[in-house]
Amino acid sequence: MAKTKVKPGTAKTNRKQSARNSDAARDYGADKIQVLQGLEAVRKRPGMYIGSTGARGLHHLVYEVVDNAVDEAMAGFCDEISVIISADSQVRVEDNGRGFPVDIHPTEKKPGVEVAMTTLHAGGKFDHSSYKVSGGLHGVGVSVVNALSEWLEVEVMRDGKTYHQRYERGNKASELNIVGDTDDTGTIVRFRPDPDIFPDLDYQYDTLVSRLRELAFLNAGVRITITDERGEKTKNGEFQYDGGLVEFVKYLNRNKKAIHSKSMTVNTTRDEVEVECAIQYNESYTETLLTFVNNINTTHEGGTHLSGFKAALTRTLNAYAHDRNLFKKAEFSLSGDDVREGLTAVLSVKVMEPQFEGQTKTKLGNSEVRGIVEAAMNEALGSWLEENPSAARALITKAMQAARAREAARKARDLTRKKSGLDTGVLPGKLADCSIDDPSLSELYLVEGDSAGGSAKMGRDRNYQAILPLRGKILNTIKARVDKVLSNEEIRTIITAIGTGFGEDEFELDDARYNKIIIMCDADVDGAHIRTLLLTFFFRWMKELIEAERIYIAQPPLYRVWKGKKEFYAYDDAERDRAIERLGGNGVNVQRYKGLGEMNPDQLWKTTMDPASRTIQKVTMEDETLVRELFDELMGEEVEPRKKFIKEYARFVRNLDV
């Protein structure tokens, strides 16, 4: 695991010590805590504050506490953060920042830490003399963590003393007491999520690691550690990157071949907006572009900073190529998609008053930021291209190849309109469509093989269930340009059947002909591979379907167990054994399904297609960066990452066809 250690006495440590002793540190008191509103409805409607009470909301509790520590780091007062997950799902987050204010708030007449812990949207983030920029402001505050925890304890080290206070389900359970002396400063928050709120308290280590690693990249020099004490063996992670975004890009490109070894970087401040960016191109056909505002991941919805970045990238590369007559035709120009093929970039901006919009409130709306980012990128990228002519030519060449592929794809669309129905209202001939006209009520089954497709067509409910049989394995779209993708007949058929169009410029979710798209493959190795190829295609070219939670995976049974007229269907060996036991053991028949085609239409309906009895898994994307890394690892050009993955996870395989 990549990590970089900072030696004692470095400039970073000295800056931190200096910041601690500065006027800002001394002036950070309870009067800086501004109260916006109370904390009434959090426990009644937790989804309004943390998104859900599922895995996403559970992990959000940790992020809120960690964000407080990161805000201290951005202000220059903290360089170490640790997270510990204990065996009983307790979470401990510690930082070496200034420590929560403990003096009495001028209007609330309570210690500052108590105000922050018990009042929604109360904190130093609203006072710019305490925090110039903040990511925590975008969240809902540590008070929501307190409200949704069975118990929470806070320990504050500051002014030579250690203070302690306990809360239970958001209510104060003890006064703020001095429990000792200390020479340290910082805050320790311990909490246990309330099982009355969260049905599952199982934190995913990899999910937490992904976010903590991301924060370490975004805050150069800050050391973040995680310890997971659950299970037989303790897991540990340590992240510290003095190179910041440059190391982030290098990490994202670790399974790809870079076109140029030295990243292009931007690091500037204009009109109180900090702009930091790192860019490195690789030989792949995919784009990895991550954006952040005050450490908040805005990759999903983007905003004005992303618009400025894209405009600058397209304009600067076109200007460079035109000035050097690299295009054969004077009127030729590269599109945004062309110049972003093979791009890996991380853009991070710090804004004093961020305005967030969009469905999940992660779309930056500040209009002035676009011009600031665009100007900074134009200047830095132009200089980099001048200073690295061989790399510049390689990038232009790759972009021109992408442009030719885009043009070939356009011609392929035109030539195959009548044949495949792509871009027209003509549906594929092998699609057995449903009769209902309301897309919100209809389902499309993508079925592996003609045999299973035939059973599905006979077993389905024709009113709302459509069947599209797929022959063989589709193209691995991670390794292909758009023209090759569209030359694949099965992919063209899928695109036409779904009806949304294809690619960033054409996709329209509102045009989807089905509310659910259900992947139904055999429960064997080949079926798993086909399922993975389909998910790869949807992630690469129709990601909006995943984000809208329209993609599902059918779960066909592995066994049919019966005796006389009694029968059970089992989805694993343990369930099979329980079924055999329930039927008395002797004279029990067991059938192992090798494929969907072995099922009669009524069996397929009963087990896999009937909404009243079927089991289907919704495909969601909690962490897009983590998902992208997994697809690159499993489906990318490099073989070694796949070997490593297989060696690491082979012991967890339960059903293997040999």
Q: Please tell me whether residue 343 adopts helix, strand or coil conformation.
A: strand
Beta-carbon neighbour count of residue 563 at 10 Å? 17
| Catalytic residue status for 448 | yes
Question: What DSSP designation does 441 have?
Answer: G
Helix axes 624-635, 205-218, angle to 10 degrees: 100
Alpha-carbon distance of 93 to 83, in angstroms, equals: 5
| Catalytic residue status for 272 | no
Alpha-carbon distance of 472 to 491, in angstroms, equals: 12
Per-residue tokens: 340: 């972003």
Kind of pairing, strands 551-554 and 516-520? Answer: parallel
Catalytic choice (31, 379, 423, 524): 524
Per-residue tokens: 627: 């998902």
Q: Can you give the length of the chain in residues?
A: 658
Sign of CA dihedral 478, 480, 485, 488: negative
In angstroms, the Cα distances linking 466 to 82, 388, 454, 476, 501 are: 51, 54, 12, 25, 18
Q: Please tell me whether residue 36 adopts helix, strand or coil conformation.
A: coil
The distance of Cα 32 from the centroid of its chain, to the nearest Å, equals 34
Catalytic choice (522, 623, 624, 629): 522
Find the distance separating the first CA and the last CA of the chain, reported in whole Å.
Answer: 34
Q: Which residue from 587, 527, 518, 523 is spatially nearest to 551, judged by alpha carbons?
A: 518
Catalytic choice (94, 114, 374, 448): 448
| Catalytic residue status for 524 | yes
Q: Please tell me whether residue 443 adopts helix, strand or coil conformation.
A: strand
Instruction: Please report, for the chain, how many H helices and E strands are present, in that order.
Output: 22, 24
Kind of pairing, strands 516-520 and 465-470? Answer: unpaired
Alpha-carbon distance of 189 to 199, in angstroms, equals: 22
The answer to whether 176 and 113 are in contact (CB under 8 A) is yes
Q: Please tell me whether residue 469 adopts helix, strand or coil conformation.
A: strand
Alpha-carbon distance of 484 to 474, in angstroms, equals: 12
Catalytic choice (159, 357, 489, 526): 526
Per-residue tokens: 500: 């949304």
Beta-carbon neighbour count of residue 303 at 10 Å? 23
Cβ contacts of 24 within 8 Å, gap of 6 or more: 75, 129, 130
The answer to whether 83 and 93 are in contact (CB under 8 A) is yes
Per-residue tokens: 179: 């429990």
Which segments of 297-446 does DSSP mark as H helices, in order? 304-323, 336-339, 367-387, 389-415, 417-420
Catalytic (active-site) positions: 448, 522, 524, 526
